[in-house]
Amino acid sequence: MQLQIDQITKTYPGAPAPVLQDVSLTLDAGATLALTGESGSGKSTLLHLTGALDTFDSGDIRLGKTAYSTLTEAQRADLRRTQVALVFQQFNLVGSMTVAANLRFHARLAGRDDPAFADDLAHKLGLEALGHAYPEQLSGGQQQRVAIGRALAMRPALLLADEPTGNLDEATGDAVLDLMLDLVHDSGCALLLVTHSTRIAARLDARLHLSRGRLK
Ligand SMILES: Nc1ncnc2c1ncn2[C@@H]1O[C@H](COP(=O)(O)OP(=O)(O)OP(=O)(O)O)[C@@H](O)[C@H]1O
Ligand SMILES: [Mg+2]
């Protein structure tokens, strides 16, 4: 599904000026796009809007045929549950669930629980021996691999990643990024990835730079 962001402007309540202004971009199904920019330029805000986690002042976002501006809150929740997956710098795994249960958690919520697919992801992510472990027993790199598997197990149309390797050392981060890009290519979902690193950005199909809320 194609993602189309069309002239989005966003102002946080009480803020004197918009944090994003007239931001437009297109991301084709299966394509990968890096979003760079200095701290405070609005990268995470744009990711949150794209994930239907927050609302914008004007413009629109479309995922396939769905225009976000037309959705009710329940429909927005449905979109988050079934179409868009998120991976954050903080891994956000469910501490009371095993790795195997975490991997299937979002797929189950999306009504797409597929144990064989989850097992295949676990295998590709090198997690098959860790199925019975709990998140706190894993290294950072292992936890982020679980988070990526959990995101892709629900077969999203769009994967949004905010500094997914930001908490990992360079070698571990590179290995996690390699796995993520491989799995994204296999799955055919689109990837929008926020990163401070031009080196990481160069690994994706294209790169856009945000500066004070505007795309350059
Ligand atoms: N929930 C919020 N309420 C009010 N202002 C916010 C909120 N979230 C972010 N902001 C402000 O919006 C601007 C952009 O923040 P955002 O988190 O999108 O930047 P970023 O590019 O992701 O930065 P970083 O690289 O540090 O993560 C900042 O000035 C920030 O203070
Ligand atoms: Mg941010």
pLDDT in tens, 99-109: 999 999 999 99
Beta strands, E only, the chain: 3-10, 20-27, 32-37, 58-63, 66-67, 84-87, 158-162, 190-194, 206-211, 214-215
The predicted model gives 3-15 an average pLDDT of: 97
pLDDT in tens, 29-68: 999 999 999 999 999 999 999 999 999 999 999 999 999 9
Give the pocket of ligand 1 (CB within 6 Å).
Answer: 12, 15, 19, 37, 39-45
Place of tokens 């002042």: 57
Task: Give the list of residues 6+ apart from residue 123 with CB closer than 8 angstroms, or none.
Answer: none
Rounded to whole angstroms, what are the CA distances from 209 to 7, 172, 184? 16, 25, 22
Q: Band of the pLDDT at 216, cuts 50, 70, 90?
A: confident
* CATH of residue 154: 3.40.50.300
Rounded to an integer, what distance in angstroms lies between the CA atom of residue 157 and that of residue 209? Answer: 23
Output the CA 143–ligand 2 centroid distance in Å: 20
Overall number of domains in the chain: 1
pLDDT in tens, 119-172: 999 999 999 999 999 999 999 999 999 999 999 999 999 999 999 999 989 999
The mean pLDDT value of the chain amounts to 95
Q: Which domain holds residue 65?
A: 3-215
